[in-house]
Structure 1
Amino acid sequence: MKKQKSPCIDVCNFSGPKGWCLGCGRTRKECQTWKTMKPYDANKLQKSLEKRMVKIKSGLKDTD
């Protein structure tokens, strides 16, 4: 099975809610373990990241 591409967009700022990166939504630990994650776990995290990014973006809009 082909490895999933990293969701990183080179905006490493972990000041989001729960320590999430403002660029990709992952925690520091998730960033560190991405390359060794099994495909199932990476897919599961990818789905969570979509939801996290919505939360991050809606939180940023509140402060504008």
Structure 2
Amino acid sequence: MNPAPAVANPCLNICRLDVAGRYCQGCGRTPLEIGTWDRMTDARRAEVLAELPARQPWRRAQAASAS
């Protein structure tokens, strides 16, 4: 049995791409990141999560209110 990953999946079940087709409007990941999430290392997942606030303005507001 495999242990649970240390970095949780950011999926919000709002699965649609933005107008440009670059990022998911729910989680902010690219289609490639979504498709390869299960095979990424925890370090790479953490990198992706760190990039999400810059991709979505509402995430920047969330991050600011959490600090």
State the TM-score, normalizing by the size of structure 1: 0.72
Q: Which has the higher contact order (CA 8 A, sep 6+)?
A: 1
Q: Give ranges in structure 1 of 5+ residues lacking alignment.
A: 58-64
Equivalent residue for 1:60? none
One of 4, 7, 10 as aligned partner of 1:7: 10
Q: For residues 7-61 of structure 1, what are the alpha-carbon distances to aligned partners after superposition, in whole Å with 9 as ceiling and x for unaligned?
A: 000001112545101111011110011111011111011000122122788xxxx
Q: Secondary structure at the match of 2:49?
A: helix
List, as ranges, runs of 4+ consecutive aligned residues in structure 1 with deviation greater than 6 Å: none
- Give, in whole Å, the separation in 1 of the partners of 2:12 and 2:58: 18
The count of aligned residue pairs is: 57
Aligned sequence identity (%): 26
Q: Give ranges in structure 2 of 5+ residues lacking alignment.
A: 61-67
State the TM-score, normalizing by the size of structure 2: 0.70
